[in-house]
């Protein structure tokens, strides 16, 4: 995550004065003209860089008043210390919106596109998700990791996220209405195929039949069924290794009440 402007000393002078009025911009990309305070801040940098620090101060103040939120990072020295021209002193960063780089396995390349929504999770705020959107996708695949690099913008109005944080990203690749999910324990592998035991009600009790299924997405403890059974069907989730087609089964108390 980054969106920073490194501050540089232009002339050797008192550090206390330099920190207030001199800066050389190095945006990772040109800030949008409509961004709050961007125009005023850019004008202030232009004046400071041109040797007119006193004239730049009102523009810096105006940028902050319009919503530009600067954050200082770095090591500060005593007010009377001197530094060399061109030396990095601190970083002035606007973190109201952050950029996030992350990688996705190449198997999902066909399902990636700009504008997809992402949810960002960080250890500093357990259970809190930060919304964002993909705006750039690297055209090539990394030959070593077999992954594709994506970049997203993440809103950070409360300034909770910080540049350099480690994040876990959830990408919404699509939405399927009325998807059918079964417990992973219900899947019965036979050779190269997958099956489930579907429960059928009969005059002499509940019997099961072996149904071939096609699976889709997986998540912890559950598997999506895209073909073979429908929503509302009952499947065996325990003891599948002890039964076969036509076996009598007993429904659990929870299922019997439904």
Q: Which residues of 79-96 are buried (b: 16+ CB within 10 A; e: fewer)?
A: eeeebeeeeebbbbbbbb
Residue 10 has pLDDT above 50, yes or no: no
Q: Residue 15's pLDDT band (boundaries 50, 70, 90)? A: very low
- Number of Cβ within 10 Å of residue 157's Cβ equals 9
Tell me the pLDDT band of 82, cut-offs 50, 70 and 90. low
Mean pLDDT on 95-113: 89
Name the residue among 83, 79, 141, 143 with its Cα closest to residue 112: 141
pLDDT digits (tens, 9 = 90+) for 39-65: 777 787 777 767 676 777 788 777 777
17 vs 83: CA distance, rounded Å: 12
Among 21-30, 78-87, 187-196, the range scoring the smallest mean pLDDT is 21-30
84-94 residue pLDDT tens: 777 776 667 77
Helix ranges restricted to H, the chain: 15-21, 38-49, 53-65, 253-256
Residue 22 makes CB contacts below 8 A (sequence gap 6+) with 7, 8, 9, 10, 11, 48, 49, 53
Question: How far apart are alpha carbons 216 and 181 in whole angstroms?
Answer: 9
Q: How confident is the model at residue 258 (pLDDT cuts 50, 70, 90)?
A: low
Do β-strands 129-137 and 147-155 pair in parallel, antiparallel, or remain unpaired? antiparallel
Q: What is the DSSP string of 92-143?
A: EEE-SEEEEEEEEEGGGGGG--TT-EEEEE-TTSTT-EEEEEEEEE-SS--T
Categorise residue 113: left if φ over 0, alpha if ψ from -120 to 50, beta otherwise: beta
Over range 124-143, report the average pLDDT.
92
Task: Please state the rounded mean pLDDT for residues 244-252.
Answer: 83
Most confident segment among 40-49, 118-127, 172-181: 118-127
Distance CA(180)–CA(224), nearest Å, equals: 6
- Tell me how far apart the alpha carbons of residues 62 and 67 are, in angstroms, rounded to a whole number: 9
Query: Are 7 and 83 spatial neighbours (Cβ–Cβ below 8 Å)?
Result: no
From CA 83, how far away is CA 9, in angstroms rounded? 8
Q: What pLDDT, on a 0 to 100 scale, did the predictor assign at position 223?
A: 93
Q: How confident is the model at residue 202 (pLDDT cuts 50, 70, 90)?
A: low
Q: Is the per-residue pLDDT at 33 higher than 60?
A: no
Domains and CATH numbers, the chain: 4-93 (no CATH), 97-171 (2.40.30.170), 180-256 (2.40.420.20)
pLDDT tens-digit profile of 212-224?
999 988 888 899 9
Share of the chain above pLDDT 70, in %: 72
């Amino acid at each position: 995550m980054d969106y920073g402007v490194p501050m540089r000393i232009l002339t050797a002078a008192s550090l206390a004065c330099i920190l207030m009025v001199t800066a050389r911009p190095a945006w990772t990309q040109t800030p949008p003209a409509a961004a709050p305070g961007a125009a005023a801040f850019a004008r202030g940098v232009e004046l400071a860089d041109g040797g007119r620090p006193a004239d730049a101060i009102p523009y810096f103040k105006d940028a902050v008043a319009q919503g530009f939120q600067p954050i200082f990072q770095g090591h500060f020295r005593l007010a009377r210390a001197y530094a060399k021209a061109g030396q990095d002193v601190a970083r002035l960063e606007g973190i109201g919106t952050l950029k996030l780089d992350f990688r996705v396995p190449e198997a999902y390349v066909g399902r990636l596109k700009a504008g997809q929504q992402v949810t960002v999770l960080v250890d500093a705020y357990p259970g809190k998700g930060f919304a964002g959107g993909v705006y750039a996708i690297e055209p090539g695949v990394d030959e070593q990791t077999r992954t594709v690099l994506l970049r997203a913008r993440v809103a950070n109005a409360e300034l909770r996220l910080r540049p350099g944080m480690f994040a876990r990203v959830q990408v919404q690749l699509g939405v399927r209405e009325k998807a059918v999910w079964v417990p992973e324990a219900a899947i019965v592998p036979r050779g190269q195929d997958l099956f489930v035991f579907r429960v059928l009600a009969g005059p002499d009790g509940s019997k099961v039949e072996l149904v071939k299924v096609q699976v889709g997405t997986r998540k912890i403890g559950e598997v999506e069924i895209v073909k073979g059974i429908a929503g509302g069907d009952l499947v065996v989730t325990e003891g599948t290794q002890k039964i076969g087609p036509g076996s009598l089964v007993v429904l659990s108390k929870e299922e019997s009440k439904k």
